[in-house]
Amino acid sequence: MEFIDSWLSTGWWVGAIFIVLGFVALVKGADWLVDGASAIAKRFGISDLVIGLTVVAFGTSMPEFVVNMVSVAEGTTDLALTNILGSNIINTFVILGLTALVYPILSQKRSRDFDIPMSIIAGVLVLSFVAIQLPFGETERGVGRVGGIVLLLMFCYFLYNTFRHAKDHPEDAEMEEVKVIPVRRAIALMLGGFVGLVVGGELIVKSAVDIATRLGVSEAIIGLTIVALGTSLPELATSVIAATKKNSDIALGNVVGSNIFNVFFVLACSATVRPLPAYSGIELDALMATSGSIIVWLAVKTNKERKIGRWAGALLLLVYAGYLTYRLLNV
């Protein structure tokens, strides 16, 4: 999209506007795509449960997925890595922290025993990939194609286990109430959503690179902050609204599920398409993403109520504030 480059050349403020417009297009495009695809799946007789576990779950990760696909296509691999690591860090430390301050977050047994441990495993795998060079033909540290395949295999296991659990324990599954709409409107929503995602992804990636160049900072810092926060907006809005309605357990499921999808699906697909070499400071970022899941797991395992209390929410926010300060002062 050459018109984006020509507009960006006129000034930094254009990049700031384009990023905001890009996030709006991403979020709205993902909503339209999910609504259209869900309606068509419903017409084919697919159950609401399956739609919720597939179409809706994949749709919520579409902002991160599109930004990463555009990034690897443009060769901005640092942005692809930091978008995922930054999103997971913000999801855990900021979104869960803020949500717990509004109302303590209750945890379900499934989250404590499977989902949170899986998010820890995801973080440990990424940390190991970026800390050491794999011996399977990899030429440098980072998440290469071998690492991407490993993550995809883990994603297949996660999906299998999730479907099996939903089948055996339907009372634990969150049913999606899919609205039946005319086929033409459903197709129009899907097409509009696809266009919104592509345009939004292009606007964000190109604008982020332009802003990083003008400010003299790395793409990694922009990815960890602006881009990661923007792609996490759907989870932030959903979680805070759920907390105000005292349904905070929804927030934990949304955040942990998003973190798992981000690593095992989005990052895996990105690395399979183009290897993602390590950048300066990636070890700390990967360690933060992993430690966030560990803190959450400890928080729900060390009290009788099995919840993330306000003290834990405050701790998550304080740790993130310290991490972000250190990261910005050592660019």
Residue 320 CA to residue 329 CA, distance in Å, equals 14
Residue 235 CA to residue 180 CA, distance in Å, equals 25
Q: How confident is residue 271, by pLDDT bands cut at 50, 70 and 90?
A: very high
CATH number of the domain that residue 145 is part of: 1.20.1420.30
User: What's this model's pTM, rounded to 2 decimal places?
Assistant: 0.86
Select the more confidently predicted residue: 76 or 155.
Answer: 155
Residue 183: what pLDDT? 81
Residue 136: what pLDDT? 53
Q: Angle formed by the axes of helices 282-301 and 249-261, to 10°?
A: 150
- pLDDT per position as a tens digit, 178-201: 667 788 888 898 899 888 888 888
Host domain of residue 92: 2-329
Based on the structure, what is the number of domains in the chain?
1
Residue 13: what pLDDT? 63
Q: Where are the alpha helices (DSSP H) in 61-103?
A: 62-74, 77-89, 96-102
